[in-house]
Amino acid sequence: MKTEIFKVGGMNCASCAAKVEKALRDVAGVAEVSVNAATGRALCTFDPRQTSADRLAAAVKAAGYSMEKPQHAPSGAAPWWRSPWWPVAVVAALIGAGWGLRSDPLLVGATALAAYPIIWGALKRLARREISAEVLVATGVIASASIGEFLAAAEVALIMRLGDLLENYTIERCRRSIGSLLEHMPLTARVRRGQQEQEVPVEEVAAGDLCIVRPGENIPVDGVVESGRSAVNQAAITGESAFVDKAAGDEVFSGTLNVSGALIVRATRAAAESTLARIAALVEAAQQRAAPIQRTLDRWAGWMVPLMIALALLTLAFTHDIVRAITVLIVACPCALVLATPTAMVAAIARAAREGVLIKGGQYLEAAARLKAVVFDKTGTLTRGEPSVTDVKRFCPEHNESELIALAAVAEKMSEHPVGRAVVQHADSMRLPVPDPAAFQAHHGEGVSAEVNGQRVLVGKRSLLEKHDVALAQEHRAHLEAHNEHGHTTLMVAHDGRVCGAICVSDEPRARAEDAVAELRRLAIEKIVMLTGDQPRVARSIATRVGIEHVEANVMPEHKAARIESLRQAHGAVAMVGDGVNDAPALATADLGVAMGVSGTDAAHDAADIALIADDLSKVAFAVGLSRHTLRIIRQGLAFSLLFNVAMISTAMHGVVSLIGGAMAHQVSSLVVILNAMRLLRYGKPRRH
């Protein structure tokens, strides 16, 4: 299957989107279709063996619309004659001159220039047997001109044109919020091939190429640092405000800014497959997927068209005033009602992407707002997923702390166990020499023994030392018991038959895990649970440190889905936060699956409804808060549009509102709803004082 996003021309209402959607669904090989009238885009998943983009475009054309792949406009201002604003300026000037000079020819010219696209669009709608705002406005303009009200006709046409331009501008701002992500992608890359450096288009960089990135330049590709050290600004990808230190072996992403030092990066994928490009494509697709509330409102809007025609006919029957009846038609058009949901969803998904939160569609944004319980996996989610040295204790004066670490690291150097690797990595971070041991033996489940400088070194559990006749004093046992109680793995280090120290290794909580849990509690999430396959003692230790009260340990991955279902029965909608790989069944079972740290992991993209680019748990609370705020914005837009329409219909039927006033009211209601939705682009940003 192939998923493509197309630009659809000629849509201006929910019924238009429904017709385009039906035309696409009727094409053989089409699996999924979602059409958004507000953004003018259609998402279509189809089998390329059965159909093609050209066939899809032909089906849409047969329905009376146009469809093509959207083109990314080059940077720079368009020439003035291609701007849609200058005809509006000319019309405004003609109206001003005609009104001042009392000149009907000037007003007729203004009417013709402003109304031509409206009337042409209305004729196309009528050919498809559609009643839209264009048809209503065209009728009003023609009726006004026919009774000699050229000033009213010109002003109504001007107001509608101006309103349409403002609507398109504000909605396009939401779209540019996503499109601007790709502005961080450099157009060229400096590549080392053989002994030469050459600058090539970024599209020509292949996996395995070495790219040189100087300070102040954007990194052109996803890759791994071969050499060099620098601080990197990853805000474009992860939303992190703090710079991240990068050195040899660290992963970097295209579009991020190299701040301080020079880096040599080996590309791991081509530019077209980069994290930045995938994020932009994912969010673009997500904006097309309608939320359940939007589909419900679209159906309501379809029923409103016959109702408003009936109201206009009743007005005409009782007042015999055709202008008043047309005014009723214009103010009753449910454009603001239809725009309330999609514009808010587009703005919210764009805002989330800027914070490194990828929401796959409006339905998932809506689901996040209704959460009652949140379940966290432990390893790799609440914790970093990699053991690290957290405490070092010396028991003999012959070795200082550095010597103790170095001694243990040499013994563990040949070990494949994660705990042993943590000791070696700690020694590397201290820049300690770690030569190979003269001899090495792994003792399954207990530790390792090695020969270092002609003497035996033991690193492992108490049982390993006792098997080799190394006696433990009361001080050693007390230290072991104290750290085991907190869920730590404690390695005893013996050198030449004597206990010389202990090294504690544990999987530490993520930096902001405690704050994230506290923020979810502040958002009134009823139940926060840790679900893990780890031992109860270890699980309780981590849960206590991050502020989670409810812990379920010894739960195998295949049983997590059942626990999710029982939590849903007890509390309501449940979110599962995991690493997107071994938690896939639980992520799929939950009402909302949230995958951590998916900057380079395709599996996590597939498993989750919401994907967090960075390993930052605070983004879970951000997503919940944003979703709730989005639903509030939608409700505000719906309430305003309904109340405003009722008030304007009533006043129009009584002749209080003129044709010009009705046209202005129609556009004002739509703009208010759109501008209110645009506030979501600022959600979570600190206010300027």
Residue 257 makes CB contacts below 8 A (sequence gap 6+) with 184, 216, 217, 218, 219, 232, 233, 236
DSSP 3-state of 579: coil
Q: Taking residues 424-436, report their average pLDDT.
A: 91
Please check the confidence at residue 79 and state whether its pLDDT lies above 80: no
Tell me: domain 357-384+510-626, CATH 3.40.50.1000, correct?
yes
Cα angle 283, 286, 288; round to 5 = 120
What are 280-316's pLDDT values in tens digits?
666 666 555 655 666 666 666 556 667 777 888 898 8
Instruction: Reduce the DSSP state of residue 592 to 3 states and report it.
Output: strand
Rounded Cα distance between 552 and 338, Å, is: 45
pLDDT grade for 540, boundaries at 50, 70 and 90: confident
Mean pLDDT of 50-75: 79
Average the pLDDT over 59-65 and give the result: 86
pLDDT above 90 for 408:
yes
List residues bridging with 551 in a β-sheet: 530
Query: Percentage of the chain surpassing pLDDT 70?
Result: 83
The most confident of 3-17, 96-110, 662-676, by mean pLDDT: 662-676
| Mean pLDDT along residues 396-423 | 89
Report whether pLDDT(463) > 50.
Answer: yes
DSSP code, position 435: P
Would you say residue 678 has pLDDT above 90? Answer: no
* CATH code that applies to domain 2-68: 3.30.70.100
Asked whether the beta carbons of 99 and 151 are under 8 A apart, the reply is yes
pLDDT at 241 exceeding the cut of 70:
no
Q: What is the pLDDT of residue 82?
A: 59
> Would the pLDDT of 98 be above 80?
no
Q: Return phi, psi of residue 557, to 5°.
A: -55, -40
The count of other CB atoms within 10 Å of the CB of residue 521 is 16
Fold of the domain spanning 186-273: 2.70.150
Grade residue 416 by pLDDT with cuts at 50, 70 and 90. confident
The tokens describing 604, both together, are 């996590």
pLDDT computed for residue 499 by the predictor? 92
List the catalytic residue out of 298, 377, 507, 583.
377
Q: Which two tokens stand for residue 369?
A: 């707002």
What DSSP character marks residue 506? E
Q: Would you state the torsion angle of the CA atoms of residues 468, 474, 480, 485, taken in this order, to the nearest 10 degrees?
A: 140
pLDDT of 21 strictly over 50: yes
Of residues 67 and 77, the one with the higher pLDDT is 67
Q: What is the 3-state secondary structure (H, E, C) of 440-475?
A: EEEECCCEEEEEECCEEEEEECHHHHHHCCCCCCHH
pLDDT at position 547 is: 92
Q: Which residue, 108, 120, 123, 117, is CA-closest to 88?
A: 117
Map tokens 């790709």 to a residue.
Answer: 182
The rounded mean pLDDT for the chain is 81
DSSP 168-227: HHHHHHHHHHHHGGGGGS-SEEEEEETTEEEEEEGGG--TT-EEEE-TTPBP-S-EEEEE
Give me the DSSP letters along 24-87: HHTSTTEEEEEEETTTTEEEEEE-TTT--HHHHHHHHHHTT-EEEPPP-PPSSPPPGGG-THHH
Which stretch of DSSP H or E encloses residue 490? strand 489-495
Question: SS in 3 state form for 365-434?
Answer: HHHHHCCCEEEECHHHHHECCCCEEEEEEECCCCCCHHHHHHHHHHHHCCCCCHHHHHHHHHHHHCCCCC
Q: How does residue 77 score in pLDDT terms, banded at 50, 70 and 90?
A: very low
**Taking 50 as the threshold, does the pLDDT of residue 73 lie above it?**
no
Q: 388-506 in CATH: which number?
A: 3.40.1110.10
CA atoms of 617 and 613, how far apart (whole Å): 11
Q: Percentage of residues in the chain with pLDDT exceeding 90?
A: 19
3-state secondary structure of 129: coil
For the chain, state the CA radius of gyration: 33
What pLDDT sits at residue 688? 47
357's tokens: 């939160």
Above 70 in pLDDT, residue 228?
A: yes
| Cβ neighbours of residue 42 closer than 8 Å, sequence gap 6 or more | 5, 6, 8, 20, 21, 24, 33, 34, 35, 36, 60, 67, 288
> What average pLDDT does range 18-47 have in this prediction?
83
Q: Is the pLDDT of residue 229 over 60?
A: yes
Could you tell me which of 513, 517, 553, 516 has the C-alpha nearest to residue 537? 553
Residue 124 has pLDDT above 90, yes or no: no
Tokens 């069944």 correspond to what residue?
Answer: 585
Residue 227 has phi, psi (to 5 degrees) of -160, 160
Q: Predicted confidence band at 240 (pLDDT cuts at 50, 70, 90)? A: low
**pLDDT (tens digit per residue) in 348-388:** 888 888 888 888 878 888 889 999 999 998 877 888 877 88
Give the pLDDT score at 535.
75
Domain ranges of the chain: 2-68, 81-178+283-347+628-682, 186-273, 357-384+510-626, 388-506
Of 166-180, 188-202, 318-332, 546-560, which range is least confident?
166-180
Which carries the bigger pLDDT value, residue 689 or residue 400? 400
Alpha carbons 498 and 335: distance in angstroms, whole number: 82
Convert the pLDDT of each residue in 496-518 to its tens digit: 889 999 999 888 888 889 999 99
Q: Which alpha helices (H) appear in 486-575, and where do they start and end? A: 513-522, 536-546, 557-571
Q: How many residues does the chain have?
A: 689
Q: What three-state secondary structure class fits 529? A: strand
Q: What pLDDT is stored for residue 331 in this prediction?
A: 82
The residue with greater pLDDT, 321 or 599, is 321
Collect all residues with Cβ–Cβ distance below 8 Å to 149 and sequence separation of at least 6: 323, 659
Residue 598 pLDDT exceeds 70: no
Q: Coil, helix or strand for 345?
A: helix
602 is catalytic: no
> Using alpha carbons only, what angle is made at residue 346 by residues 220 and 19, rounded to the nearest 5 degrees?
115
Residue 75's pLDDT band (cuts 50, 70, 90): very low
- The Cα–Cα gap between 624 and 369 comes to 6
Reported as a single tens digit per residue, the pLDDT across 105-117 is 888 888 888 888 8
